[in-house]
Amino acid sequence: MGSVKDLEICRPPAVEISGVGRFYFSNRYSVFDWGEMPDHIQNKGASLCLVSAYFFERLEEKGIKTHYRGVVEHGEVKRLAELTEPATSMEVSLLRVIKLPVKGNDYDYSAYQKEKANLLIPLEIIYRRSLPAGSSVFKRLREGSLKLEDLGLKELPSPGQILEKPLLDVSTKLEASDRYISWDEAKEIAGLNEDELENIKKVALLISELITQEAGKAGLINEDGKVELGFDENRQLMVVDVLGTLDECRFTFGGIPVSKEVARIFYQGTDWYGEVEKAKKKSKVNWREMVKNLPPRLPQRLRDLIAMLYCTGANEVTGRVWFKNLPPLPEIVQEIRQVLG
């Protein structure tokens, strides 16, 4: 069980052959690497499943290999167009996830120098097309962990700044808390050669363009998003996990977040968030144990508005009305603006 979706292993992966599994998308959500939060968002799971399936099928049309096998309706694996109702399950090819031993306060990546096939790459690739106010870039610039030259900029950016060309960032994937790293470190810990690294960047940029174009049809601005990848049995790159959803991407409409960023903004004003930030500075492995308080629940109306965002987003991006009787997106966004102040 993950923080937002569950996995059923139908056939476990091995060194020589990928496995088969099914994702079950739940209405749970997670922010700041905490894991399951105290509320559920109605129909969130179905919206994630539908949007991700849509983008997987678009990638396949472009010749990009993915682990997507289809969506599941009444036990049968189907294409998105064959569904008669919203689905919450997706069948995928499974890769091995190599667990990282902890040595002191660090992780041991040595297995990735030896293992070559059917494995998840232990990196998360982040593309940035602009720098909205909530972007981690501003915090990292203040702390000195990111430099202007890393962004290709000559002066400090301002919130909302649009980048001339997408910026690719990279973080760890399998550690207790995602950690931004350099591309040199990414290449080393994941056991990549130069061609593989360049191919990863190429695919991430293609995904960025695809999501931007498709979301743009609904009036959504694709600010940034994340991509996860792996290698198949022939060490060919493949896109894994999910992509293009309101959890994986930061979309805005009229300058207002249309993603789980709404929940992040709410929690940034809580004492719990302050505890989380302090704990992460003390330990990148055991920080959760240092947080004494649990996150508070979302206000009921804000929870309902976030649910509407997920459902309307799925309708707009896929071009099909899966969820009915919803206010127009501008109305939902305007009320969120008022609730968040």
Torsions phi, psi of 10, nearest 5? -85, -40
Q: What is the pLDDT of residue 39?
A: 95
- Look at the domain 5-340 and name its fold: D-amino Acid Aminotransferase; Chain A, domain 1 (3.30.470)
Interacting residues of 324 by C-beta distance below 8 A, sequence separation 6+: none
Q: Which residues of the chain have pLDDT under 50?
A: none
The residue ranges of DSSP E strands in 115-268, in sequence order, are 119-120, 123-131, 161-172, 221-231, 237-240, 249-253, 256-257
* The residue type at 227: V
Separation CA 9–CA 11 (nearest Å): 6
Separation CA 239–CA 229 (nearest Å): 5
CB 246 within 8 A of CB 310: yes
Torsions phi, psi of 17, nearest 5? -150, 140
* The residue type at 154: K
Q: What is the pLDDT of residue 103?
A: 86
Can you give the pTM of this predicted structure? 0.90
* The residue type at 156: L
Q: What is the pLDDT of residue 1?
A: 62
**Element of type H or E holding 267:** helix 261-267
Q: In the chain, where are the structural domains located?
A: 5-340
Separation CA 86–CA 322 (nearest Å): 6
Q: Give the other-Cβ count within 10 Å of 213's Cβ.
A: 11
3-state class (DSSP) for residue 126 = strand
Separation CA 121–CA 171 (nearest Å): 11
Helical residues (DSSP H) of 190-270, grouped into ranges:
194-216, 261-267
